[in-house]
């Protein structure tokens, strides 16, 4: 049983790290359970906070942190290296680790969990997915009696802010992205968010918790939201839909179908109603059906709450978990699904016939044709929806269609997630 209070060393004093320290300071009722002893950060002279008690040691030397033999190391530095070394050394020394580092966990969670199990300590990472949403605890403890078959959710608050604002105000993506950067929702280089890499790392962690399988982030197909235009939202509304970046992993055959990218969802669905920078995740079980979790997915205070919750769990008398192991998982092709196909063309005769013929070659049936008025003839957007088809067949057809001379922009294909269980 852990002694009280647990001594805590904090690696990183940025937005999340300082928020963790602030909670520990401003909640005196926690002092008999948790005691912050060290803050490790570069440039501690400029980071030092007067509101922390004088007995907290500030250091730029990680060896000094380990020499104090803390009970718990909180890693909120981010990135894979050198965080991997620091977390490994902490676990090897017998300290439990609480991490908010999705990139580290996506790359190395299986080996780190093995180290933790071997040393009889814990690696906890509630804050790595969903920010302040108690998602990992909910899946790991609340749904442990079910056999989970799928996860799907909005895991990136930046993309959700951009897409929901585009839907509401009809603004182009570059304008909204620029504003998101100004407001602090998006980084100066937004690639990790808008191109799906941030959400893919979170999906790896979520799949590990749900299925006890490790899917490599590099094996997850990701598609950017950069091609989404105001016209796409206009056509989506015509179909009572909107567009969101959705991350999903579902059991199929001997592996998992996994993807991150923009999809059409019904406006009245939980995903369609999710606005701003909030996250929402649905978990699908063989017996219990769908369970959903939602809330603030980003920001220092929300993420810090998840970190402190993990710390408090470590202080609970008798708190123990079976050693967790993520076995290798394999990403397989998705099941057939309907698609939204948007074309922007220089108008001329025969375009629809050419598209229909290429789709027919792959046994893909057209569902509907949508064309709004008021667009210029040299950049005319229209949409074709198709009945459920295999992704590979659709790619073959679009490659053929893409060679036609009348394209003003490359074609856009979005899956249509019209049924929560699809």
Task: Kindly list the catalytic residues.
Answer: 202
Q: Which residues contact 359 (CB under 8 A, 6 or more apart)?
A: 365, 366, 386, 397
> Measuring CA to CA, how many Å separate 102 from each of 80, 83, 129, 254?
9, 11, 7, 26
3-state DSSP assignment of residue 404:
coil
Rounded CA gap, 366 and 376, in Å? 25
Which string of b and e fits 320-336 if b means at least 16 CB within 10 Å? eeeebebeebebeebee
Rounded CA gap, 310 and 33, in Å? 12
Q: Quick one: which H or E segment has residue 191?
A: helix 191-194
Number of H helices, E strands in the chain: 15, 17
DSSP 142: I
Nearest to 397 by CA among 383, 413, 382: 413
> Measuring CA to CA, how many Å separate 89 from each of 73, 93, 104?
10, 6, 14
Which string of b and e fits 355-372 if b means at least 16 CB within 10 Å? bbebbeebebeeeeebee
Question: What would the DSSP string read from start to end of 345-387?
Answer: E---TTHHHHHHHHHHHTT--EEEEE--SS--TTSEEEEEEEE
φ and ψ of 370, to 5 deg: -125, 130
């Amino acid at each position: 049983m852990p002694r009280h209070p647990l001594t805590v060393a904090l690696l990183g004093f940025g937005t999340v790290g300082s928020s963790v320290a602030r909670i520990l300071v401003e909640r005196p009722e926690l002092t008999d359970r948790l005691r912050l002893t060290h803050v490790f950060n570069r440039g501690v002279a400029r980071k030092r906070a007067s509101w922390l008690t004088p007995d907290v040691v500030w250091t730029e030397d990680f060896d000094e942190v380990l020499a104090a033999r803390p009970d718990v190391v909180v890693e909120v530095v981010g990135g894979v290296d050198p965080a991997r070394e620091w977390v490994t050394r902490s676990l090897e020394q017998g300290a439990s680790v609480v991490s908010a580092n999705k990139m580290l966990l996506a790359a190395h969670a299986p080996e780190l969990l093995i180290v933790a199990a071997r040393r009889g300590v814990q690696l906890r990472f509630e804050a790595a997915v969903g920010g302040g949403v108690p998602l990992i605890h909910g899946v790991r403890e609340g749904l442990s009696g079910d056999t989970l078959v799928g996860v799907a959710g909005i895991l990136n608050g930046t993309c959700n802010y951009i897409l929901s604002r585009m839907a509401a105000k009809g603004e182009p993506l570059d304008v909204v992205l620029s504003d998101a950067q100004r407001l602090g929702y998006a980084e100066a280089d937004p690639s990790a968010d808008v191109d799906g890499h941030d959400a893919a790392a979170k999906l790896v962690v979520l799949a590990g918790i749900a299925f006890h399988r490790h899917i490599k982030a590099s094996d997850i197909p990701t598609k950017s939201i950069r091609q989404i235009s105001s016209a796409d939202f206009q056509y989506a509304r015509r179909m009572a839909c909107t567009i969101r970046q959705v991350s999903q992993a579902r059991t199929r055959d001997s592996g998992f179908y996994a993807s991150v990218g923009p999809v059409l969802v019904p406006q009245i669905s939980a995903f369609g109603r999710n606005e701003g920078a909030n996250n929402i995740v649905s978990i699908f079980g063989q017996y219990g059906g769908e369970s959903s979790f939602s809330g603030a997915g980003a920001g220092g205070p929300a993420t810090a709450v998840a970190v402190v919750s993990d710390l408090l769990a470590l202080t609970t008398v008798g708190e123990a978990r079976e050693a967790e192991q993520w076995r290798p998982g394999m990403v397989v092709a998705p099941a057939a699904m309907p698609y939204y196909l948007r074309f922007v063309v220089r108008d001329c005769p025969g375009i629809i016939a050419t598209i229909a013929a290429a789709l027919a070659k792959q046994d893909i049936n057209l569902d509907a044709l949508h064309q709004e008025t008021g667009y210029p003839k040299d950049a005319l957007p229209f949409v074709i929806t198709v009945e459920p088809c295999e992704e590979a067949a659709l790619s073959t057809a679009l490659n053929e269609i893409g060679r036609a001379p009348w394209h003003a922009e490359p074609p856009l294909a979005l899956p249509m997630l019209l049924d929560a269980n699809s």
